[in-house]
Amino acid sequence: MNKSVFGKTLSGHRELTLDRLNFAQHGQLQVEDEFPLSEQVVVADITTTPPSTQYKTLTPSMVGIQDLTAGTNITYSAGTTYNGSVAITINSTDTNTEYTGVDPIDISAGNVISVKYDDDTIVLDGGELAVNHLPHTLTFTGYDTGTFDGSSNLTINLVDSDTTYTAGDNLDLTGTEFSLETSIDEMRDIAYESGFFATTLLGNDYPGSLTTATYLDLSSTTNLILPHNCFFNGAEYQLAFNPGIFMPNDDQSYFNIAVEDDSAAATHGRVKPLTASLELVGFITIPSGWRATKGLLSLVNSLGSNVSRTTQFQNVQTWGGTGYITLGFGSTNTELTFGTPMTGGVDRTLMLKVYTASASDFVGGGYITIEKV
């Protein structure tokens, strides 16, 4: 390959180191072929007439080449420097073998790298991590029941696919429709034959005219027959009373109590004393076989706001003797638990006294909590 330099004027003392130097007109130089270092070359000084020439050995410094020195962890296959004069191999060695693993990566002695995992829920399957089962168990109930932890496939049926039904006694099944197999008359026969007197529940138009019961012994303590005006509130039985049970006491002989009926919503239907010197007393019969345990009385002012007045509950003997037992003192609008429960009896009544203190005390009703003896 030929390389030519044209139009270059050489002045001063310069050296060109070439393998061949051809002089052309007007001082142009032509260079043919590249040459290796350490070979003999002709050095021509063209500033003299005629140009002088001499042979010199080509060195790296003559062409501006510097030695490359190996740094840290760099080695040469020959020598300690490199300038391109001979072919060598350059080796790079990483001497830092300290590695640190961050969870779940673990690096043990000998730079063995591994993965930390919970071998209860994760297993090695053919050199790969695989789920063994879930950390928690799913329990399901219903048409299908069981547990599931992911260790195997499971199908859960959410809908009852069993549509096979059978008819029981006195029922008829046609297709998907149920009907009574027994007529009303036949049901009455069954009730009668079983000892259940159906005349009360089914009427006295029963074919054959059942004899109407003239005596039913319901006095057994196993019977639970609610007394008159007794209500079940979901937890307790409450014997209700209204303002009509009250009358004035004997503190004032010229005044009475009155029913508020002017349609004022706050007080309508309640009773009040016509003077502050009167107090109200009422009587409540506790049914036989029951006992009274608590009591409450409602009292408001003319605005309908609750007013606290003292109440007194007493167990009074009505005949065959005299005397009374105080069940307890309380306050209006607050339920009082009796210190001594009162058992109903033919010679006993519960007396309720409210210590009214104003002609604007409006007394309503309340309840007595009772329980079966």
pLDDT bin (cut points 50, 70, 90) of residue 106 is confident
204 pLDDT above the threshold of 70 = no
Q: What pLDDT is stored for residue 5 in this prediction?
A: 40
Give all domains of the chain, ordered by start, each with its CATH number: 2-63 (no CATH), 116-162 (no CATH), 163-216 (no CATH), 230-372 (2.60.120)
| pLDDT for 343 | 96
For residue 24, what pLDDT is reported? 44
pLDDT category at 75 given cuts 50, 70, 90 is: confident
Residues 6+ apart with CB under 8 A from 240: 229, 230, 231, 365, 366, 367
108-153 residue pLDDT tens: 766 777 777 676 677 777 767 777 667 777 777 766 677 777 777 7
Convert the pLDDT of each residue in 235-258 to its tens digit. 999 999 999 999 999 998 888 999
The H or E element spanning position 200 is helix 199-202
The predicted pLDDT at position 335 comes to 97
Tokens, residue 262: 């002017």
Q: Confirm if 56 and 40 have CB atoms less than 8 A apart.
A: yes
* 19 vs 320, residue with greater confidence: 320
Distances (CA, A) of 24 to 9, 21, 76: 13, 10, 45
pLDDT at 154: 76
pLDDT for residue 31: 40
* Higher local confidence (pLDDT), 102 or 287: 287
Mean pLDDT, residues 84-98 taken together: 76
Q: 106-137: buried (b, 16+ CB within 10 Å) or exposed (e) per residue? A: eeeeeeeeeeeeeeeeeeeeeeeeeebeeeee
Phi, psi angle pair for 131, to nearest 5°: -75, 125
How many whole angstroms separate alpha carbon 234 and alpha carbon 237?
8
Mean pLDDT, residues 173-195:
69
Residue 120 in contact with residue 128, Cβ under 8 Å?
A: no
24 vs 70: which has the higher pLDDT: 70
Amino acid identity of residue 263, one-letter, is: S
pLDDT of 195? 54
Q: For the segment 286-314, what is each residue's pLDDT rounded down to a tens digit?
A: 999 899 999 999 999 999 999 999 999 99
255 or 30, which is more confident = 255
DSSP 221-253: TT---PPTTEEE-SS-EEEEE-GGGEEE-TT-S
pLDDT of residue 207: 54
Do 271 and 259 form a contact (C-beta atoms < 8 A)? yes
Which tens digits make up the pLDDT trace of 306-343?
999 999 999 999 999 999 999 999 999 999 999 999 99
Q: pTM of the predicted model, to two decimals?
A: 0.45
pLDDT at 72: 78
Share of the chain above pLDDT 70, in %: 67
Residue 101 pLDDT greater than 50, yes or no: yes
Q: Kindly state the average pLDDT of the residues 143-164.
A: 72
Tell me which DSSP letter residue 62 carries. G
* pLDDT for position 355: 97
Tell me if 342 sits within 8 A of 348, measured CB to CB: yes
Q: What does pLDDT average to over the chain?
A: 77
CB atoms inside a 10 Å sphere around CB 147: 9
pLDDT greater than 60 at residue 100? yes
Task: Collect all residues with Cβ–Cβ distance below 8 Å to 234 and sequence separation of at least 6.
Answer: none
Residue 79 — very low, low, confident or very high, per pLDDT cuts 50/70/90? confident
pLDDT band for position 185 (cuts 50, 70, 90): low
pLDDT greater at residue 147 or residue 372:
372
- Number of residues in the chain: 373
Name 314's Cβ contacts closer than 8 Å, sequence gap at least 6. 324, 325, 326, 327, 350, 351, 352, 353
